[in-house]
Structure 1
Amino acid sequence: MFKKLFAEFLGTFWLVFGGCGSAVLAAAFPEVGIGLLGVSLAFGLTVVTMAYAVGSVSGGHFNPAVSIGLMVAGRFPASSLIPYAIAQVAGAVAAAAVLYLVASGKADFQLGGFASNGYGEHSPGSYSLLSALVMEVVMTAFFLFIILGATSHRFPVGFAPLAIGLALTLIHLVSIPVTNTSVNPARSTGVALFVGDWALSQLWLFWVAPILGAVLGAIAWRAVGEAE
């Protein structure tokens, strides 16, 4: 079990450090300016690379909502859910800490949103709570549906990480303007702890919505997918 949990810790660390790091360090740097497309690709690439690296060890969840969705779908034991979630959140917090250490080394450093997720005045596009809720639920539901389909025994072996990573890229391309894209409670928690204040007060949504979406995605797969 230790190897699985450490793999989840490392995978979630890489997702948060690479994804949120692209937003905090690169997207805000005028000479680089990777923008929405670059940040979206960064999140997708973190999943692709770590899924290939440690997917065979832990399943490559890197996300408590994904673990819950897989459990609902009958692909993951309930007894492992809490240890996985703890490892994932710990990896996200560790990544946010290292990212803060790097970012704060800039002479004119200002914490700002630190890639946190939000709604209302803290949404990149000033979208409402309802818009944020619907976006996060829908995107996480389809993310789980794609994960379950891509890891089905009928899917070509070896291509699942690509499908999942591309799905996460697409999710970010659509939803960054609305919530700054969560679909992952651990990712949201790691950076929110450093922002505090509004980020923590709005964090509940980025646990509730992804978990609800994951459950719906798992139910949808069980309705249309093949028996495992």
Structure 2
Amino acid sequence: MEFRVAIRATFLVLLSFMIAGCEQSDTDGVPVITPPEPELLTSTDDMQTGAADFDRSTHPGKGLYEESCSGCHDGTVSRAPHFSWLEMMNASVVYQAMNEGVMSVQAEALTDEDKILITEYLTRTKLAGGAALKVIEPPMCTDGDFDLSSPAPAVNWGHDTNRYSPSTVAGLTVPEIPNLELKWAFAFPDAFRARSQPTIAMGTVFVGSQEGRVYALDLETGCARWT
């Protein structure tokens, strides 16, 4: 019994020395660095589509939004884009959604002037004469003919959710993947996402946009054959 007590006492003494040594090392050796507190985003002003050359707090669109839109878009309905997302949308997208898009039923009681005022308030864009509501056209191909001799893609966009393409079809090996470069990119006018998966045929990418248009894009250059 005395032997066990002696061992336990010796162990506790050694443990206290080890802890003291660690504390001494932390204070006299490498200094303890306290990481700074992460900075939180306090404003989305840099992400806004408009410069707001008017006072939003007194803009007539503010009252219209609060009366007709805030009930869903201030976070009450999970599927409805939040106010902060609406601020980042293009003016024509917001207006079209109320005029003939997904919000047309909810906006039936609004006049066209009401819709414009709400659009101005949300996007911080003054719609003088409807100039900001004009549709932006994509770069068009000089040759709009389809390549009817182009073979059908072996896997197209993918037959399943894995989008798997075998190396024999992709023409790539694993070591070559880091060397890939972007061939071309297409910015959907007046939208920030595509409507559905693209379909590839005749050397062309067929894809629908969020704002309702279908595009036929040249597979090699990305120019539009038609919209």
TM-score by length of 1: 0.20
Q: Which TM-score applies when normalising by structure 2?
A: 0.20
**Bigger share in helix:** 1
Bigger radius of gyration among the two: 2
Structure holding more strand per residue? 2
